Structure 1
Amino acid sequence: MACAVSILLRELADELALVDVMEDKLKGEMMDLQHGSLFLKTPKIVADKVDVLTYVTWKLSGLPKHRVIGSGTNLDSARFRFLMAEKLGIHPSSFNGWILGEHGDTSVPVWSGANVAGVNLQTLNPDIGTDSDSENWMETHKMVVDSAYEVIKLKGYTNWAIGLSVADLTESLMRNMNRIHPVSTMVQGMYGISDEVYLSVPCVLNNGGVASVVNVTLTEEEVAQLQNSAETLWDIQKDLQDL
C-alpha cells in the first residue's frame, strides 16, 4: 500500500490497479483510497486477486523479457548509498554505488565502482569491502542486508522505503525518463550466467520497459559473487520449469 500511495502522490497514472490474494483486505484498501480520491489526481482506482514472482510473471504472461521487471536491488542500492554517504558525511545523492544480484542475503556490493565525484574509493583503499579492510566498509553492506530484518523486528514490516523506491521506478517508466536503476531482469548470457534467472543489474528504464542493460565492469570476485547469487535463485526456480 505504501507503493500505491507513493505512486498516487507522485501523480504518475490515470488508473491504479491493486493486486493481492487477500480479497477482503484488498477491497478495503481500494475503498479507503477511493474515498480519498477527491484529494488525488488519479481518477480510477481498482483492485483484483494474483500472487506471482517476476520469473513466474514473465513465463505466464508471454510478454517479452524487457517488459517484465522486478524492483530488485533498487532499494538495496538506496540503503547502501544512504549508509555509505552517512559514514562519509555527504548527501546520498553525492555518493555513487550499486548493489547488484539478488535482493537479499547474496546481494553483491560493487566496491570497484563506488565513488564520490568520480573519486574511486577502491583506488584510495584497495582493501575496501574485504576482510582485511582496516576501515571495515564491509560492515556497511552487512547493514544493508540486515536493515530490512531490523525494521521488521522493530515495527513488524517494511513499507515506506520500498513504496518510495517502486514509485521512483514507476516514474522512470511512465515518464519515459531513460534513467538507470538496478532492477531485476533476465540475465541469462551475462557475466557467465547460463540459467534463466532474474537478477538485478543496472538497466535503462523508459516507457518500453528495459531499454538496455549497462555492462558494468566487475572484478573477478564480484562476477563470482553475482554467479553465486544466480545459483541461489536457480535452486529455487528450477522446480518451476513446467510453467
Structure 2
Amino acid sequence: MDKHISCVAIIGVGQVGAAVAYTLISGSVADELLIVDTRAEWRNGQPVRYGGNHRGVKIFLRDGPNKSRLSVSQHGDSPVRRQRDEAVPEISGLPPSQVLGSGTFLDTVRLRGLLADKAGVTQSSIDLHVLGIHGDAQVAVWSTATVDGIPLEKAALPCMASEADKVALAHECQNRSRSIIATKGTTSYGIASVVSSICTSILQDRRNVCPVSHFQPEFGCYFSLPAVLGRMGVVQRVPAGLSARENEAIVESAKELKSTLDRVQERY
C-alpha cells in the first residue's frame, strides 16, 4: 500500500509565513511543503534559510498569481481580514468544516502560561480557554478552568483570590502581543507554533480539542469555540460550558463581528 503523502502549502512567506515553514520543517509535521509567493527573492531564499536541514521534508517553490480574489489587509485585526474567512469556502469549494483559523488558540496558550507562572505549576496542568474573537473582544472562560483537574474555584490559588486577579491576568494576556512586538518587533514564532499544532492534529488525525476559529451557523460568521480537529478539519464542536456572563460576552462580540462583516461586504 502506498504511503499517504502529507503536504502543507504556505501562501506568503513574510515573517509569519517563514516562521511557520521553519516550525513545520523542524517538527517534521508534513512530508512536503509548498511555498507560494510572488516575490521570487523571498520565495527562493527559504530553503537557504534552513541551511539545507530539511529533515526529509521536500520543499516546492511556486510563483503566485498577480492578483487574488481575496482581499487581504496588512493589518491583522481589520474587518477585511475577517471577511476573508467568509469568502474562503465559496472560493475554494471546501465545506465550512475544512476552513478554519488560529483564532484565540495563541491567546489560550498565553493565558495558560501566565496562570501557570502565577500558580507555580506546569502549564500542562492548566485547562483554560480564551474564546470568541481575537483581540479586545476575546473572552477568558474562567468558569470551566481547572488546575490538575481541580476546578479553579476549588483550587483556592492565592494568585486568583479575587475577580480582579482574573481580570488583570486576562488583560495581561490580551496585551501580550503588543508587549512582545514592542520588545522584539514580531510575534511570528508564537503563531507559528500554534499553526504547527493545528496542522499536526489535522494531518495525524489526533482529534485534539482546540479553540480555533470555525463557522458558527447560528451567527453566520467565524469565531473561536472549542472544536475537535482531525483529518477532515473540524470533526466535532465541543460545548464550551460558558457561564451566563461569558455566553453574553461571546454573543455580543459575535453580533458585532457579523454587523462589521455585513458593512464590509456592502462596500466591497
**Conservation of the 8 A alpha-carbon contact between 1:100 and 1:110:** yes
**Conservation of the 8 A alpha-carbon contact between 1:17 and 1:48:** no
Q: Does 1:226 align with 2:250?
A: yes
Q: Does 1:106 align with 2:106?
A: no
Q: What is the CA deviation profile of residues 66-110 of structure 1, one whole-angstrom value per residue up to 9, with x for unaligned ones? A: 011101111110001000111111011111100011111111100
> Which amino acid is 2:39 matched to?
E
The aligned counterpart of 1:9 is 26
The aligned counterpart of 1:23 is 39
> Cα distance, 1:224 vs. partner?
1.0
Q: Give matches, 1:114-129, under 5 Å.
A: 114-123=145-154
The aligned counterpart of 1:43 is 58
Over the matched positions of the two proteins, sequence identity in percent amounts to: 28
The aligned counterpart of 2:116 is 85
Return the alpha-carbon distance in structure 2 between the equivalents of residues 48 and 83 of structure 1.
41
Return the alpha-carbon distance in structure 1 between the equivalents of residues 99 and 25 of structure 2.
22
**Conservation of the 8 A alpha-carbon contact between 2:208 and 2:229:** yes
Return the alpha-carbon distance in structure 1 between the equivalents of residues 236 and 56 of structure 2.
31
**Conservation of the 8 A alpha-carbon contact between 1:203 and 1:212:** yes
Residue in structure 1 matching 2:221, options 194, 197, 206: 197
> Which amino acid is 1:240 matched to?
Q
> Cα distance, 1:188 vs. partner?
2.1
The aligned counterpart of 1:188 is 217
2:165 is paired with a residue whose SS is coil
Q: Does 1:142 align with 2:167?
A: no
TM-score (norm 1): 0.86
Residue in structure 1 matching 2:88, options 43, 49, 57: 57
**Conservation of the 8 A alpha-carbon contact between 2:132 and 2:254:** yes
RMSD: 2.5
Return the alpha-carbon distance in structure 1 between the equivalents of residues 41 and 183 of structure 2.
23
The aligned counterpart of 2:265 is 240
**Conservation of the 8 A alpha-carbon contact between 1:13 and 1:42:** yes
Report 1 or 2 for greater relative contact order, CA contacts < 8 Å, sequence distance ≥ 6: 1
Taking a change above 3 Å as real, the CA distance of residues 48 and 68 of structure 1, as seen in their structure-2 partners, is farther
> Which amino acid is 1:36 matched to?
G
Q: Does 1:74 align with 2:105?
A: yes
**Conservation of the 8 A alpha-carbon contact between 2:212 and 2:224:** yes
Taking a change above 3 Å as real, the CA distance of residues 220 and 179 of structure 1, as seen in their structure-2 partners, is same
Structure 1 unpaired stretches of 5+: none
2:242 is paired with a residue whose SS is coil
Aligned length: 232
> Which amino acid is 2:117 matched to?
E
Return the alpha-carbon distance in structure 1 between the equivalents of residues 217 and 149 of structure 2.
31
**Conservation of the 8 A alpha-carbon contact between 1:30 and 1:45:** no
Taking a change above 3 Å as real, the CA distance of residues 32 and 101 of structure 1, as seen in their structure-2 partners, is same
